[in-house]
Amino acid sequence: GLSAFIVERGTEGFQVGSHIETTGLRGSQPSELILDHVKVPQDNLVGKEGDGFYIGVKTYDRGRVDVSAQGVGIAQAAYEAAISYAQTRMSFDKPLIDFQQVQYKLADMAIGLHTARLLTYWAASLKDQGKEFVKAASIAKVTSTETAEKLALLAMMIHGGYGVATEYPVERFLRDSQIIKTYEGTNDIQRLTIAKQLIRELKE
């Protein structure tokens, strides 16, 4: 079976390759890892021999809670940007926030944000208590990342033409939301995980 090892920086045959440019989360700087006939000592084994797949799966499970929190953060930033702009941008001698259409958008943003945050707290709480949290983590991940995308789009709509201008942050929120929907397992994979957990629970 697969085994997990720590490959330390400076190990012969291991080097960090070129930086990979991404559409969003540009501060993360993902890079290519090159391993050429690398030899790793037995002491660098993580867990037991053959546990690599299990360790990887559990790492992804925990990571989904973290990604959920990222989604909440992006959604919160989009919400705050929309509120700020709607309060200060004037149209027909009154701020945008006075228009009912804008109020509907802000209300939807508030609903989505609070839902995503509470689901993330739920998943994190189960994890911290040592309880089964796989389904909760997947539910939170799908909800928070898709909420981040939705709120970024709504914020862009409220900003009008400025929504696509790089001098305003909302276009970045949309780009970032695309990345978090993908890593730690795509949202389609999360839906499969949720369904499998539901089916398993029905059989118990």
**Active-site positions?**
184
- As a whole number of angstroms, the distance between CA 43 and CA 11 comes to 14
Alpha-carbon distance of 171 to 129, in angstroms, equals 37
Find how far residue 15's CA is from the centre of its chain: 28
| 8 Å CB contact between 33 and 14 | yes
The helix (run of H) or strand (run of E) holding residue 202 is: helix 187-203
Rounded distance, CA 180 to CA 147, Å?
Answer: 11
Q: Cβ of 130: how many Cβ atoms within 10 Å?
A: 7
Instruction: Provide the total of helices (H) and of strands (E) in the chain, helices listed first.
Output: 5, 6
Q: CB–CB of 136/62 below 8 Å?
A: no
Residue 167, phi then psi, degrees to nearest 5: -75, -15
Reading the block at residue 129, the tokens are 């208590």
Task: Indicate the DSSP class of residue 21.
Answer: P
